[in-house]
Amino acid sequence: MTASTAKAQRFREFKMPDVGEGLTEAEILKWYVQPGDTVTDGQVVCEVETAKAAVELPIPYDGVVHELNFGEGVTVDVGTVIISVDTDPGAGPAEAPTANGTEQAAAATEDEDAEPQGRQAVLVGYGAAPSSTKRRARKPQPGVPAQPASAPIQAELNGRAAPTPMAAPVAAPAVPAAPVVPAAPVLPATSAAGAGSAGRPLAKPPVRKLAKDLGIDLATITPTGPGGIITREDVHAAAAPAVAPSLAGAPEPMAVATAVATAEPGIVDAAARERRVPVKGVRKATAQAMVASAFTAPHVTEFITVDVTRTMKLVQELKQDPDMAGLRVNPLLLVAKAFLVAIKRHPEVNAAWDEAHQEIVYKDYINLGIAAATPRGLIVPNIKDAGVKTLPQLAAELGDLVATAREGKTSPAAMAGGTVTITNVGVFGVDTGTPILNPGESAILAFGAVKLQPWVHKGKVTARQVTTLALSFDHRLIDGELGSKLLADIAAVLERPKRLITWG
């Protein structure tokens, strides 16, 4: 066994897994351990947020935390090492393996540690398939020196840490210090370092967009990513000097005072009163899903106003029912049950459009989604096989679903496979709305606020509890007649809830 192999076996590296179906990155929200802490196999060491949910990650090793490779709030690509663990701390002090040493050790211990070929192991699902695309070697630019092997040192000179925290210390370069300091020679080398074969800087599309939004030229950035790729951190670091100019370039105090005095009164820079927040996590996923749905599925929305006085009375009676003891009973529960009963009467609405195969997929199960507003944004977990559940079972799962969503613990699996959704806008005092379909689903029902309103009841105008329902549906799957019948049946059940028995 070589020394590098022994080090790799002692210092085990834990990579960011794919915590959802094919997700490519996750943000580290919180570390529960610090270097020097003892950890055990299966212990949760951090919480990360993907585009779908927040997930806690357990460590698969026993030992002592050697290093945390990224801080909180950093977005990390799947497959990147985020923490290393010393599995034999009693063996005395030892250096962690270098990048090359780790690769050599990985080859030597392939039978023990290597993953099967194909998709890498994930916590949920199978993950994204590995890319077969290979980047061509970069050609040296005429008159421009190639990027030196001591790129981490150059990154430190530019005010950023080296991209590989686990790498061993690099010896000081055997070149005079003077050529490294001047600003003029650095610019050409910076441009070449992140350039592809045609001189174009290497960066992912989101990074290019970020640079464009911030007004940063990628050619002026020193890349710190693997293979000379420019990262988000590189762009933010390059933008920092533009926000806070150096003292050398700052105007004299007298000049500033003169400028303020001569400025036209009443004019305020709008940028000084604006905030920019990166779009990521649940907010990013929600935006992408809503845009995809709105411009893919042709939406139709219909409305109906209904007297739900009898339903509200039934809610109060169910709260006193021994069979519902300990369960949360509210109007949403009965609206959900009415929706399920109506779908049973019109099962053809429970379908999905398969664009790739040009087929309509009819589903013999109902996974009922409940739109939930959380501190991280809108999510839509669903109750699996809701159509076959009794009212107490539906109440129990609805309560668990809402509680889990509020705690931010909803798993990606809980949000997958929905067929229809309910959004309860009435809790905000809103009468109704025009909800957008959850991608892949056929219909979404908006439940508005229940209010006392004048209503003709038994030939007389009296105060009744009234609400407005709105049903949006995919017009490729559901025509106007079918959608109208579905909405009318939902309203009929809520108007006379005894139909839960006669129709159910």
What residues are labeled active site?
475
Supply the DSSP symbol for 424. Answer: -
Distance from C-alpha of 305 to C-alpha of 466, rounded to nearest angstrom: 7
Contacts of 115 (CB under 8 A, 6+ apart): 121
Distance from C-alpha of 242 to C-alpha of 252, rounded to nearest angstrom: 18
E strand map for 170-218: none
Distance from C-alpha of 224 to C-alpha of 153, rounded to nearest angstrom: 10
Neighbours of 65 (CB within 10 A): 21
Containing 275, the helix (H) or strand (E) segment is: none
Containing 235, the helix (H) or strand (E) segment is: helix 232-243
Amino acid at the residue 401:
L
Containing 55, the helix (H) or strand (E) segment is: strand 54-58
Query: According to DSSP H, which parts of 244-373 are helical?
Result: 253-262, 281-294, 309-319, 331-345
Distance from C-alpha of 441 to C-alpha of 370, rounded to nearest angstrom: 13
Angle at 131 between CA 126 and CA 136, to 5 degrees: 165
C-alpha distances out from residue 339 to 49, 210, 305, 336, 369, Å: 32, 44, 15, 5, 11
**55 within 8 A of 28, measured Cβ to Cβ:** no
Distance from C-alpha of 465 to C-alpha of 463, rounded to nearest angstrom: 7
Q: Which residue has the tokens 């009922």?
A: 368
Q: 98 in helix, strand or coil? A: coil
